[in-house]
Amino acid sequence: MPEPLLKVTDLSMYYKTKTETVRAVEGVSFSIGVGKTFGLVGESGCGKSTTARSIIRLLPKTGQIVGGQVLYQGRDVAKMSQRELREIRGKEIGMIFQDPMTSLNPVTTVGKQLFESLEGQGLDKQGMHDRAVELLRMVNIPEPEERLGNYVHELSGGMRQRVMIAIALAPRPKLLLADEPTTALDVTIQDQVICLINSLKEQLGMSVLLVTHDLGVVNEMCDQVGVMYAGRIVEIGSRRQVLDKPHHPYTEGLIRSLPAEHDTRSRLQSIPGMPPNLAREIVGCPFAPRCPYATDICRAKAPGVVDRLDGHLVWCHHADESDRAKVTESTGILDPREEGAA
């Protein structure tokens, strides 16, 4: 099997202050093959963005990687010097963040920001100009020549997002970290951005780590999916394994909370309760207070991993269907899957 482009093994990242330690990422492992898209999905605060930022060590002062390993092209990111990191950040590894205003420079023109991203490619002034226009055209920016002279505040939200994508793609990165790339956009622009990233992935052969709370976006973009809860991955597998045959109650809950296509009458089901406070020690399964299948063992012991089939991994004491049926029968609760079907 070919080596993955990115291999994350048992990664843990904590925010440490004088008064508390927040265990934001706990023992996360996954890998991304060349030309593949891996989606990290979950509610806000589940650790997915922090995982993405930990990969390139783009963390605030309070953030510390306390365990695990990140291998990029077989090189240990933790052992890279700041200079080596700067070399790969934005060049080999491109980044798109949710809010373009935080990553674009408000006092520099779009053109200048694009030229900076094109440095080191051996282009002369005219070559840089032509390539910058080509990039803006590639992300469907109208009148690209004129836009080069614009400042960020002169552009609409959708255009800013596309400019940020153009800047991220200018150095032809091998890996794109896309953190909620479509959240701030309206639906039509969202679709355009998804199509754009997918087609550029094909053209450039790049890999993508997509961070999102939106399972619809996962369905359109990802080859593999990891579902995160309370800083951990609770289910991982191919897109079809996870979306069509989920085995973790949290994944099931996320899928049930999606509106069904062409169905405007059924009530949407939400997951009751709140995620746990990651500054407190968690005993047992972190999802237990919200889980309809929780039993005594769930509250006492953290679940180990269960391999369902072909690398479809689930961290749950009752990952098995028949086991879950026994739980609902003995407790008398209504199985949420039947409730949704009723």
Q: Which residues bind ligand SF4 (CB under 6 A)?
A: 249, 285, 287-288, 291, 293-294, 298, 303, 316-318
Question: Which position has the token pair 């739980």?
Answer: 327
**CB of residue 325 vs ligand SF4: minimum separation in angstroms?**
12
State which residue, 211 or 288, has the beta carbon closest to ligand SF4: 288
State which residue, 52 or 291, has the beta carbon closest to ligand SF4: 291
State which residue, 76 or 323, has the beta carbon closest to ligand SF4: 323
Q: Helices (H) and strands (E) in the chain — how many of each?
A: 14, 12
State which residue, 97 or 315, has the beta carbon closest to ligand SF4: 315
**CB of residue 289 vs ligand SF4: minimum separation in angstroms?**
8
Q: In 10 A of CB 161, how many CB atoms?
A: 27
**CB of residue 48 vs ligand SF4: minimum separation in angstroms?**
18
Beta carbons of 336 and 269 less than 8 angstroms apart = yes
Could you give the CA distance from residue 319 to residue 316 in angstroms, rounded to a whole number?
A: 5
**CB of residue 229 vs ligand SF4: minimum separation in angstroms?**
9
**CB of residue 230 vs ligand SF4: minimum separation in angstroms?**
11
State which residue, 15 or 287, has the beta carbon closest to ligand SF4: 287
State which residue, 100 or 275, has the beta carbon closest to ligand SF4: 275
Pairing of strands 232-238, 224-229: antiparallel
Which H helix or E strand runs over 246? none
* Ramachandran quadrant class, 120 (left: phi over 0; alpha: psi -120 to 50; beta: rest): left
State which residue, 236 or 291, has the beta carbon closest to ligand SF4: 291
Could you give the CA distance from residue 153 to residue 160 in angstroms, rounded to a whole number?
A: 9
**CB of residue 320 vs ligand SF4: minimum separation in angstroms?**
10
Instruction: Give whole-number Cα distances, 127 to 121, 122, 141, 153, 163, in Å.
Output: 10, 9, 19, 26, 19
Which H helix or E strand runs over 143? none
Bridge partner residues of 306 (DSSP): 314
**CB of residue 307 vs ligand SF4: minimum separation in angstroms?**
15
Please enumerate in sequence order all residues whose Cβ is within 8 A of that of 149, keeping only pairs 6 or more positions apart, or say none. 109, 110, 111
Pairing of strands 175-179, 207-212: parallel
